[in-house]
Amino acid sequence: MKIGEIIKELRTERGLSQAALAKEIGVSQKAVDYWERGINEPKASYILALAEFFGVSSDELLGRK
């Protein structure tokens, strides 16, 4: 599974909109949308913020279990 798919899965499991997630980690809703659709990938600082927010490791976000 790719990082965008993992972000979307974690976000929807928690009942969050893209805008709500974006606000929590300090990015735009469009950035989250692009990540989830595989247009862009989050830079390292946002991978760390996402991992902390979701309570998972950065390896898990990157699909390395």
Supply the pTM of this predicted model.
0.93
pLDDT digits (tens, 9 = 90+) for 4-63: 999 999 999 999 999 999 999 999 999 999 999 999 999 999 999 999 999 999 999 999
Which token pair is 34? 């692009």
| pLDDT class of 65 with cuts at 50, 70, 90 | confident
How is the chain split into domains, by residue range? Answer: 3-61
Is 21 within 8 Å of 32 (Cβ atoms)?
yes
Fold of 3-61: 434 Repressor (Amino-terminal Domain) (1.10.260)
Q: How far apart are CA 35 and CA 2, in angstroms?
A: 10
Q: How far apart are CA 21 and CA 64, in angstroms?
A: 22
Tokens 């991992």 belong to which residue? Answer: 51
